Amino acid sequence: MRLLRSIFGSSLVLAFVSVFSLSVAVPLLTAHIQEVKTVRETALPLLATLPSLERRLALIKEQVEVTELDAALKTGSQLERVRVSVLPLEADVPKALATLELLRSTLEGQGAIGSLSPIEVGKEQPRGDGMAAIPLNFQLSARSDGLKRVLAFVRLAGLVTVGDALTTAEKNALIRATEEENPAGIVMLEQFFSTDLFRYAGEPRPVEEQLKRSLQSEGFLSAFKEATDSSLLKDAKEFFQGPMGPAMQRTHLWPMEFLAIERIELKPGSSPDWYRLTLSLSLVRRTS
């Protein structure tokens, strides 16, 4: 009987300890879950865009090396413009710095960023493939929305046409949808791809309506909506329809020089929804 009482008493003690431990652990676990949720909802979506940003140099190499998309989609004239305007023989460092300063002043006025360090201009380094790069390094503090806009701006730097702002998959989807409806519509699609990105982003409706009058199938309109709503075209519209657009036009900062991301570091800031971004860019030029 004593043994039973002893076992029963020990069980009660263990049960009490377990319940107490659980009551302490639950709030801690809940707080941890909330912290993880906050990180997932803010920092992780930002970091998810970085690998694609770091691979952007492949885009300009493709623009320089490829002289023709296919027999129907010729890009020779735009290619020459990319070479002369975006990848000049002499890098225009003052123009690149002026563009970044315009971005800073615009976002600072909107409360999206807090500060931007002086931009360090490094010594030019050869990159191979007929290109050279000048390092540009700086730090800034920004809200999550400001970070998204800064990174989107860097992704837009160096793009000249509507086609440049679309991925290969997005362009292929539009080409397939066009061929299924009317192969002759490729001519109109070519004109859309070749449209100046700045002009389109500032006033997209006339360009889009002209294309949609020629291609009206449900398949094409669905692919077109997907391409214009989820690609860099959306970011371009947000930028150039705002104060950045008129300012860039007034100061002759379009087209922008190509900027490649070399290193990027993101840390939490001192206040909620604020971050510290360290960014190392390369201003790319061609050597021949």
- Give the tokens for residue 151: 């990174």
Enumerate the β-bridge partners of residue 264: 279
User: DSSP for the chain?
Assistant: -HHHHHHHHHHHHHHHHHHHHHHHHHHHHHHHHHHHHHHHHTHHHHHTTHHHHHTTHHHHHHHHH-SBSSSS-B-HHHHHHIIIIIS-SS--HHHHHHHHHHHHHHHHHTTSEEEEPPPEE---EEEETTEEEEEEEEEEEEEHHHHHHHHHHHHHTT--BTGGGS-HHHHHHHHHHHHHH-GGGHHHHHHHHHSBHHHHHHSHHHHHHHHHHH---HHHHHHHHHHHHHSHHHHHHHHHTTTHHHHHHHTT--SPPPEEEEEEEEEE-SSTTEEEEEEEEEEEEE--
Find out whether 203 and 245 touch, Cβ atoms under 8 Å: no
Answer yes or no: pTM beyond 0.75. no
Q: CB neighbours of 86 closer than 8 A, spacing ≥ 6?
A: 60, 158, 160, 255, 256, 257, 258
Q: State in words which class domain 57-160+255-288 has.
A: alpha beta
**pLDDT of the chain, 288 residues: tens digit per residue:** 443 344 444 444 444 334 334 343 334 334 433 444 444 444 445 555 554 444 454 554 444 443 333 333 334 444 444 444 557 778 889 999 999 999 999 999 999 998 889 999 999 998 877 788 999 999 999 998 898 899 889 889 888 899 989 988 899 999 999 999 988 889 899 999 999 999 999 999 999 999 999 898 999 999 999 999 888 999 999 999 999 999 999 999 988 888 888 888 888 888 888 999 999 999 988 887
Q: Which of 78, 285, 116 is nearest to 195 (CA)?
A: 78
Instruction: Report the C-alpha gap between 117 and 18 in whole angstroms.
Output: 53
Helices 186-194/204-214 angle, 10° precision: 170
